[in-house]
Structure 1
C-alpha cells in the first residue's frame, strides 16, 4: 500500500479511505462514485487521489 496519506492539493487525509475503497470496488463491484460518496470524500481533488491511484510497489520492488 503506497497511497499518499494526504491529498496533494488540499492536504486532507485520504489514506485512511483506501482499504475500504479498494475492497468495495474490487471485491463487491460497487461503482467508485457511490463508494466515495458513502465514505464522505466530496472534493474532486481528493476523489482523484483515490480513483487514479495505481499500486506499483509489487511491480517495481524486484528491481531495487
Structure 2
C-alpha cells in the first residue's frame, strides 16, 4: 500500500528512496542500475523497492465514510 519506511529484513531506511527510484524507472531507466546508483546493495532492500505495488488509490474509496 504505502512504501515501507524501513526494510522489512535489515531495518535500513528506504522511504526516502522510493520517489527517486519510481521517477527514474518510469522515465525508462533500468531498475537494477537505478538501485545501484542509489547505493541499495542488499538484496532484501532491493526486493522491498522492486516488489512494492502502490494500491493506495484502489483502496482509498473504501475508506471514505459518507454521512
TM-score, normalised by the number of residues in structure 1: 0.94
CA drift at 1:2: 1.3
Greater per-residue helix proportion: 1
TM-score, normalised by the number of residues in structure 2: 0.90
Give the unaligned 5+ runs of structure 2.
none
SS at match of 1:22: helix
CA offsets, 1:2-33, max 9 Å, x none? 1000000000001110000000000x200100
- Determine if the alignment matches structure 1 residue 14 to structure 2 residue 33: no
**1:1-64 alignment to 2 at 5 Å?**
2-26=2-26, 28-64=27-63
Give the unaligned 5+ runs of structure 1.
none
SS at match of 2:33: helix
The count of residues paired between Structure 1 and Structure 2 equals 63
* Runs (4+) off by over 6 Å: none
Compute the RMSD of aligned alpha carbons.
Answer: 1.1
